[in-house]
């Protein structure tokens, strides 16, 4: 029986490590982080945004459920990531398994403050439902294929990008088109 579980973006560093959802998964144990290469650019100046999944759990698979609205930007995908490169990283003193799941280039088309909405994924997470220590002793551990697979809906953080207009005083024949 599948149990729905929703996990929001990464908790603040001082937040409690409380459990969320029916599967008992803490938001600090599974989250998606959006990181922009720059948060202040000029109109037409490209930046990249990377979306990375961070987990302390056994994520068996995931799929994108919602693409963020990127209004005010020309968007170019930087290659489809079909087999994410998984690595171990230390974050705030905690060990995580992490992988880059999407990378895009954004080129702002107008000045002003632009918000990039969260990216949504659904991860399939293997969790142990039993508190019986004999389950682990007799090989019914999540490490050996035991446990239950539960879906977890996860949203990344949103991003705010400040886009400044091009400086005044451009040369007379310049029309703003480059390339």
Q: Which residue has the higher pLDDT, 59 or 83?
A: 59
Model confidence over 111-148: pLDDT tens digits?
A: 999 999 999 999 999 987 656 565 555 555 545 556 78
For the cut 50, the answer to whether the pLDDT of residue 170 exceeds it is: yes
Tell me the C-alpha distance between 153 and 66, whole Å: 10
How much of the chain exceeds pLDDT 70, in percent? 73
Q: Which residue has the higher pLDDT, 136 or 108?
A: 108
What is the residue whose two structure tokens read 């551990």? 141
Tell me the C-alpha distance between 90 and 94, whole Å: 5
Q: Which residue has the higher pLDDT, 134 or 161?
A: 161
Q: How far is CA 175 from the centre of its chain?
A: 38
Residue 136 is encoded by which pair of tokens?
């682990």
Residue of 45, 48, 174, 50 whose CA lies nearest to 110: 45
Q: Average pLDDT of 165-179?
A: 73
Give residues with Cβ within 8 angstroms of 84, minimum separation 6. Answer: 53, 99, 100, 101
Residue of 115, 102, 112, 103 whose CA lies nearest to 41: 112
Instruction: Report if pTM > 0.95.
Output: no
CB neighbour class for 48 (10 Å; exposed up to 12, middle 13-18, buried from 19):
middle
What's the mean pLDDT when you consider all of the chain? 81
Tell me the C-alpha distance between 10 and 52, whole Å: 11
In Å, how far are 42, 58, 82, 143, 158 from 118, measured between CA atoms? Answer: 23, 23, 20, 31, 5
Which one of 6-15, 34-43, 57-66, 70-79 scores highest in mean pLDDT?
34-43
Residue 143 is encoded by which pair of tokens?
């490490």
pLDDT at site 3: 44
Q: Which residue has the higher pLDDT, 53 or 26?
A: 53
pLDDT at site 18: 41
For the cut 80, the answer to whether the pLDDT of residue 98 exceeds it is: yes
């Amino acid at each position: 029986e599948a149990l729905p579980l929703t996990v929001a973006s990464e908790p603040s560093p001082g937040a409690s490590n409380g459990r969320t959802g029916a599967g008992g998964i803490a938001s600090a144990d599974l989250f998606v982080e959006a990181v922009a290469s720059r948060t202040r650019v000029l109109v037409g100046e490209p930046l990249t945004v990377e979306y990375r999944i961070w987990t302390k759990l056994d994520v068996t698979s995931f799929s994108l459920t919602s693409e963020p609205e990127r209004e005010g930007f020309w968007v170019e995908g930087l290659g489809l990531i079909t087999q994410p490169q998984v690595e171990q990283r230390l974050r705030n003193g905690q060990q995580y398994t992490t992988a880059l799941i999407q990378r895009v280039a954004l080129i702002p088309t107008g000045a002003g403050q632009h918000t990039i909405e969260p990216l949504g994924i659904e991860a399939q997470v293997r969790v142990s439902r039993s508190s019986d220590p004999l389950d682990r002793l007799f090989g019914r551990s999540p490490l050996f294929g035991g446990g239950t697979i539960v879906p977890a809906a996860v949203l990344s953080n949103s991003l705010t990008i400040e886009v400044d207009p091009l400086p005044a005083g451009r040369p007379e024949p310049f029309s703003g088109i480059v390339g």
